[in-house]
Structure 1
Amino acid sequence: MNETIRQSQPAAYAAIDEATRASGFTMASDILTCSLLRTLAASKPGGTFLELGTGTGLSTSWILDGMDADSTLVSIDHDANLLAIAGRFLGGDARLKLVTTDGEQWVMRHLAERYDYVFADTWHGKYLLLDEVLAMVKPGGLYIIDDMLPQPNWPEGHDLKVARLVEELEGRGDLVVTKQAWASGILIAVKR
């Protein structure tokens, strides 16, 4: 066994990838992470999904590909230009709600909502408002983050933030955590 992805890609993935490259956006989740996101999505039939940090919709396409017809996904990003790419290729999917907004404002307005699956791929829900976003995860729900291994675009001192975040997540009594030094570095937690 190796890391080669031999599964089919979501229908819109290649077109989104091409548009992403043309846009100059370089912070999309890698294909290994996306494959895992799809597999984990399939474990939550009829689920409620939240993606914080849509970007251009590359990871969104994989999450949708793993979801069943009765599931819903809310995906937010502050960058309307990036969301326009996601909307162009994924906007026709009735299970998906794309929201252009500031992450903090959105989280603070939706504190009472609960989700079966949260992919936090931006600062909010990861380094900011962590407690608030973790409170949105239902018991038995998944909390997933990536980019936990050193990345070329990390600013000075970001490695210390990553270490503190991982330590905090491991120290919580309400989460069961697995760290994977694979792809870009993935942490998966299940809420007790």
Structure 2
Amino acid sequence: MDDTPSTFPDSLPALRAAAREAGFDMSCEERTGSLLALLAAARPGGRILELGTGVGEGTAWLLSGMDSASSLVTVELDEVVQEVAREQLRSDPRVTFVAGDGAEWLQTYDGEPFDLVFADTWPGKFTHLERTLELVASGGTYLIDDLSPQPGWPAGHGAAVQRLLTDLEEREDFHSVRMAWASGLLMAVRSSHARITPRHGGTD
């Protein structure tokens, strides 16, 4: 079965062209994007958080699945890179762009939790994991990608990925599943009945 998406966000060609021009090659894989659109569509009126805007390809996928009552906050450290996304997507009133350190944003955010969190950068995945999971609403979804071995991984990164996967799968307040698909994904859903237990592991 061909698992290539059959439909794409209207803004994707322009975003991809801008990414090539900027030499940016870290956008989310299109199968991951199609899953993001599906997860966003499953949350009518949902609150969504993206950590790592990049040039906005993941953002575009999320917006394509969101309904008119949903909202998206997307955070990116590199303001120059994020400007590509702003240029193409800023007219959409559902999205709020935040340029700044994701770690600092996570530490200072004091708003409502999110129904879907897509962590596509180090803060929220390899650092500040506990804080990020605290921001997932009851029944909400946490998604991470880029978990399959890749040629450009620095020394020791494979071990860090394995520690992260183990940490998430051992939690009692989330149900999680690994997916050997796209760039390697893990999706976790906060249990609606489990008590949140603070954890202090090497990923924070």
Same fold (TM over 0.5): yes
Aligned equivalent of 2:58: 59
What CA distance in whole angstroms lies between the structure 2 residues aligned with 1:73 and 1:140?
Answer: 18
Three-state SS of the structure 2 residue aligned to 1:73 is strand
Deviation of residue 3 (structure 1)?
Answer: 1.4
Residue 23 of structure 1 pairs with residue 22 of structure 2: yes
Three-state SS of the structure 2 residue aligned to 1:9 is coil
Aligned equivalent of 1:14: 13
What CA distance in whole angstroms lies between the structure 2 residues aligned with 1:54 and 1:189?
Answer: 21
What CA distance in whole angstroms lies between the structure 2 residues aligned with 1:16 and 1:122?
Answer: 19
Structure 1: which 5+ runs fail to align? Answer: none
Mapping 1:180-191, distance limit 5 Å: 180-191=179-190
Deviations 1:9-35 (A, max 9, x none): 111001001101110111111111101
Deviation of residue 112 (structure 1)?
Answer: 4.8
What CA distance in whole angstroms lies between the structure 2 residues aligned with 1:111 and 1:104?
Answer: 14
Deviation of residue 144 (structure 1)?
Answer: 0.2
For the 8 Å contact 1:74–1:99, the answer to whether it is kept is yes
Aligned equivalent of 2:3: 3
Mapping 1:125-164, distance limit 5 Å: 125-164=124-163
For the 8 Å contact 1:47–1:115, the answer to whether it is kept is yes
Give the residue type in structure 1 aligned to 2:5.
I
Deviations 1:142-185 (A, max 9, x none): 00000010122211110000000000000000011011001000
Identity percentage over the alignment? Answer: 45
The two structures have a TM-score, normalised by structure 2, of 0.92
- Which ranges of 4 or more aligned residues in structure 1 deviate by more than 4 Å? none
Aligned equivalent of 1:38: 37
Give the residue type in structure 2 aligned to 1:2.
D
Aligned equivalent of 1:102: 101
For the 8 Å contact 1:111–1:132, the answer to whether it is kept is no
What CA distance in whole angstroms lies between the structure 2 residues aligned with 1:156 and 1:3?
Answer: 32
Q: Give the superposed CA RMSD.
A: 0.8
The two structures have a TM-score, normalised by structure 1, of 0.97
Structure 2: which 5+ runs fail to align? Answer: 192-204
